């Protein structure tokens, strides 16, 4: 019986190490260690042996059983990882390759020129200590008009043709609504910018869109003057256009600033000589701005006797148009990939 045991052991170990499939190993396991297996049969027949023989053979049988079980597990896991490596080798795909039938590399998307400009401006203002705030596109009448010193039935409401919703709310006509939300949120002194999409119920032409982008800005502190406003605006324009830009201020009417201005820049397309973009005037209207009206400060919960500030509303589309010499604002939302691919 001893010899038989050793023979089973040697044969089985040989078979295990030469087997090439997990199924084969399982078959070996059943044949030798299963309920009716060769080794199991020996263990079962131990009772027929003498006491001495029984303990010796029993001990050896159990050793061999453990050794075989070990060998089986080891070989199984070897074959398992070999199978996985083989799958990885045979089934990997190169995601950077062209798809079948295509001749050029897959097209990569990129950031829209308006977003590029927006992020750049956020960076410029962040470096000057401004915080970037957000606001909703569907807006309450209160934030878009009322708190900006434009009461109901005020003729200034006609300056901004509005998309109203049936329940009396609106799509914001300007980012100035963010001024009020900012004042509610922050304690003076503070500096904020609020970029975003705005909407006007307007027919479109080369310089008008019903959907466009602005960056609102507001600085509240002690003794803010027009000089502070001009400095920050010129600093911004110098960074955006990477050159000193000539500016001029004209009076402009906005109920939420007093005094209010239109800041024009010398036309960068023609260098101020006069062209189609500046309508032969040499100047381009770019930045409405002014000192914050005391009523607006009050709406924002800020004491106008202690604090003052400036605000501006930068037209992002126009800024991008100036930078690249784009002459029709409607390109931006046209979805024409030939236009967008240029940026």
What residues make contact with ligand PHE under the rule CB under 6 A?
A: 174, 176, 254, 257, 260, 288-290, 311-313
CB of 312 to ligand PHE, least distance (A): 5
CB of 293 to ligand PHE, least distance (A): 10
Which of 131/258 has CB closer to ligand PHE?
A: 258
How many C-beta atoms lie closer than 10 Å to residue 212's C-beta? 19
Nearest residue to ligand PHE, scored by beta-carbon proximity: 313
Q: Is 253 exposed, middle or buried (0-12, 13-18, 19+ CB in 10 A)?
A: middle
* Edge-to-edge order in the sheet of strand 131-132: 131-132, 190-199, 211-221, 308-315, 283-292, 257-266, 247-251
CB of 288 to ligand PHE, least distance (A): 4
Which of 60/197 has CB closer to ligand PHE?
A: 197
Which of 188/309 has CB closer to ligand PHE?
A: 309
The two counts, helices (H) then strands (E), for the chain are: 11, 9
Which of 12/176 has CB closer to ligand PHE?
A: 176
Alpha helices in the chain (DSSP H): 2-18, 22-33, 38-44, 51-91, 113-127, 141-144, 177-185, 226-241, 294-299, 316-324, 337-340
Alpha helices in 109-160 (DSSP H): 113-127, 141-144
Dist. CA 135–CA 194, nearest whole Å: 7
CB of 245 to ligand PHE, least distance (A): 19
Which of 64/240 has CB closer to ligand PHE?
A: 240
Q: What are phi and psi of 281, to 5 degrees?
A: -95, -20
CB of 328 to ligand PHE, least distance (A): 21
CB of 205 to ligand PHE, least distance (A): 18
Which of 40/295 has CB closer to ligand PHE?
A: 295
């Amino acid at each position: 019986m001893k010899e038989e045991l050793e023979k089973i052991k040697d044969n089985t170990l040989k078979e295990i190490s030469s087997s090439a499939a997990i199924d084969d190993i399982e078959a070996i396991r059943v044949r030798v260690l299963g309920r009716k297996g060769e080794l199991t049969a020996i263990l079962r027949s131990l009772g027929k042996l003498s006491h001495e023989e029984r303990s010796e053979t029993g001990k050896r049988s159990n050793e061999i059983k453990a050794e075989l079980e070990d060998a089986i597990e080891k070989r199984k896991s070897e074959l398992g990882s070999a199978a996985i490596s083989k799958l990885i080798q045979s089934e990997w795909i190169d995601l950077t390759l062209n798809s079948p039938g295509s001749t050029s590399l897959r097209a990569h998307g990129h950031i829209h020129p308006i977003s590029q400009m927006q992020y750049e401006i956020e960076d410029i203002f962040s470096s000057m200590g401004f915080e970037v705030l957000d606001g909703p596109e569907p807006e309450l009448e209160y934030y878009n008009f009322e708190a900006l010193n434009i009461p109901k039935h005020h003729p200034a409401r006609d300056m901004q043709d509005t998309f109203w919703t049936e329940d009396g709310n609106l799509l914001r006509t300007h980012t100035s609504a963010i001024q009020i939300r900012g004042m509610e949120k922050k304690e003076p002194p503070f500096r904020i910018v609020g970029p975003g999409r705005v909407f006007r119920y307007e027919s479109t032409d080369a310089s008008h869109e019903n959907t466009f982008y602005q960056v609102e800005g507001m600085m509240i502190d002690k003794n803010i003057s027009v000089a502070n406003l001009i400095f920050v605006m010129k600093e911004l324009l110098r960074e955006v256009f990477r050159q000193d830009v000539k500016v001029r201020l004209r009076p402009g009417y906005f109920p939420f600033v007093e005094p209010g201005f239109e800041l024009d820049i010398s036309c960068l397309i023609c260098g101020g000589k006069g062209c189609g973009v500046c309508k032969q005037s040499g100047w381009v209207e770019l930045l409405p701005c002014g000192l914050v009206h005391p009523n607006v400060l009050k709406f924002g919960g800020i004491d106008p006797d202690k604090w003052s500030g400036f605000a501006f509303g930068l037209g992002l589309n126009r800024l991008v148009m100036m930078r690249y010499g784009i002459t029709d604002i409607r390109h931006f939302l046209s979805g024409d990939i030939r236009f967008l691919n240029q940026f």
